[in-house]
Amino acid sequence: MSGPADDEPQRRLTARGLKTKARIVSAAADLMQVKGVDATTMDDVRAASGTSKSQIYQHFRDKNELVMAVIEFVGDIVIRRETDSLGHVSTLNGLRRWRDALVQANDLRHGAYGCAIGSLAGDVADHDEAARAALAQLFRTWSRLISGALTRMQERGSLKPDVDTDYLADGLLASLQGGYLLAQTAGDAGPMGRALDMSLNYIETLSTS
């Protein structure tokens, strides 16, 4: 666990230093999304970020520390996006619009690369406990956002009151992640759309209308 001494370098960072650190993390995130975590080297990150080796090691002691920063960076982007998308959803049509936005965004990349969080999980969860725990927390947060939308549907009376919204949210998130993987391997977002449709169609059978 870090203590006051470990936090001291962070407090001493200048605005320029913070920008350099952010550039390193952003470049590392892009590389790890495309090449994978294991195949991305610190030299790759140095070249992509336009920084020196000393600058990288000024901010990150090793690759594991950089990976944790990438997880935080990517997780913040995804969770902010999903909070904006799901934060006020309270209808099945709202969930379908959420589905459409995700599929259309992935279709622009021809299904490539999959989910940013899911790709990191596949690369590091088996051999980095700290990274696995951080990623698991991100997935729990994402699932709670979906569950919140389903709970609001219940409160509106459009979803049966005895439905376990947490259970449904986990299932819908699993369909999304599986859909991302199928889209990535197929080079086509179609399987992702179908996976989400199956889950949403099941949720529709639990509606009160």
* 53 lies in the same domain as 85: no
Amino acid at 76: D
* Cα separations in angstroms, 182 against 86, 106, 195: 23, 12, 9
Count structural domains, the chain: 2
Give the range of the structural domain holding residue 18, as residue numbers without chain letter.
1-61
Which pLDDT score, from 0 to 100, does residue 28 have? 97
| CB 119 within 8 Å of CB 33 | yes
pLDDT of residue 1: 39
Residue 5, pLDDT score: 41
Single residue among 35, 61, 87 that ends a domain in this structure: 61
Q: What is the mean pLDDT of each run of 10 residues along the chain (209 residues)?
A: 44 83 97 94 97 95 96 97 97 98 92 88 92 97 98 97 98 98 94 98 94
* Distance separating alpha carbons of residues 81 and 24, to the nearest angstrom: 22
User: Which 8-state DSSP code applies to residue 159?
Assistant: B
- Residue 196 identity: L
CATH number at residue 164: 1.10.357.10
CATH number of the domain bearing residue 36: 1.10.10
Per-residue model confidence (pLDDT) at position 110: 80
* pLDDT computed for residue 100 by the predictor: 98
Q: What distance in Å separates the CA atoms of residue 71 and residue 132, rounded to the nearest whole number?
A: 10
Residues 6+ apart with CB under 8 A from 49: 23, 24, 26, 27, 28, 56
Same domain, 24 and 90: no
Residues 27 and 106 in one domain: no
Please tell me the distance from the alpha carbon of residue 63 to that of residue 5, in angstroms, as a whole number.
21
Residues 43 and 81 in one domain: no
- Position 2 scores a pLDDT of 42
